[in-house]
Amino acid sequence: ERAEPGGAPGGALRAERAEPAGRPPQSLLPRRAPPASMRLLSAALLLLLLALCAARVDGSKCKCSRKGPKIRYSDVKKLEMKPKYPHCEEKMVIITTKSVSRYRGQEHCLHPKLQSTKRFIKWYNAWNEKRRVYE
C-alpha cells in the first residue's frame, strides 16, 4: 500500500467530491442572510406567542385578593356583584369609590368568601337603603 501525495496519513485514501470546474466548494461560499421580510415575520410571530402566553398567565387567576383596603360605606359610589368566570371559581365583588374619597374613584375587588366582605355587603345595602329614604 502506498500513500499518494496529499493523501491522509497512514496510507488511507480520502474520498473527495468532485467540484465543478470554476466553482468554489460549498463551505467557502458566504452564507446568505434571510430576507428582511422573513426576519420581520419571525419577530412578529415570536412577539405574538409571548403576548398570548402572558395573557394566559394573567387570565388564569382570580382578580380578587384576600387583603384589600379598609373602605367606609360612605366612600362607595357603586357596588357590583359579578358572576363566576371560567378563570375564577368564585363570584367577584367590585366596588367603585367616590372621586372625593381618599381612594379617588378607584375600583377594588373584594374576596367574596371573606367574612369582612359579607359584612360589608350586608351593611352597605342597609346603609344604602337608609340613605335612599332620606333623599
Q: Where are the beta strands (DSSP E) in the chain?
A: 76-82, 92-97, 107-110
Bigger pLDDT: 37 or 130? 37
Q: What is the pLDDT of residues 53-104, one digit of tens each?
A: 776 554 445 667 666 677 777 788 888 888 877 767 778 888 888 877 677 7
Cell numbers found for residue 85: 368566570
Burial class (CB in 10 A: 0-12, 13-18, 19+), 60: exposed
Domain ranges of the chain: 73-134
Ramachandran area for residue 51 (φ above 0: left; ψ -120 to 50: alpha; else beta): alpha
pTM score of the predicted model = 0.45
pLDDT of residue 7: 53
Q: What is the pLDDT of residues 2-25, one digit of tens each?
A: 555 555 555 555 555 555 666 666
pLDDT of residue 3: 52
For domain 73-134, say whether CATH 3.60.15.10 is its number.
no
pLDDT of residue 89: 75
Q: For residues 135 and 132, what is the distance between their CA atoms, to the nearest angstrom?
A: 5
Cell numbers found for residue 12: 488511507
In this prediction, residue 51 has a pLDDT band, given cuts at 50, 70 and 90, of confident
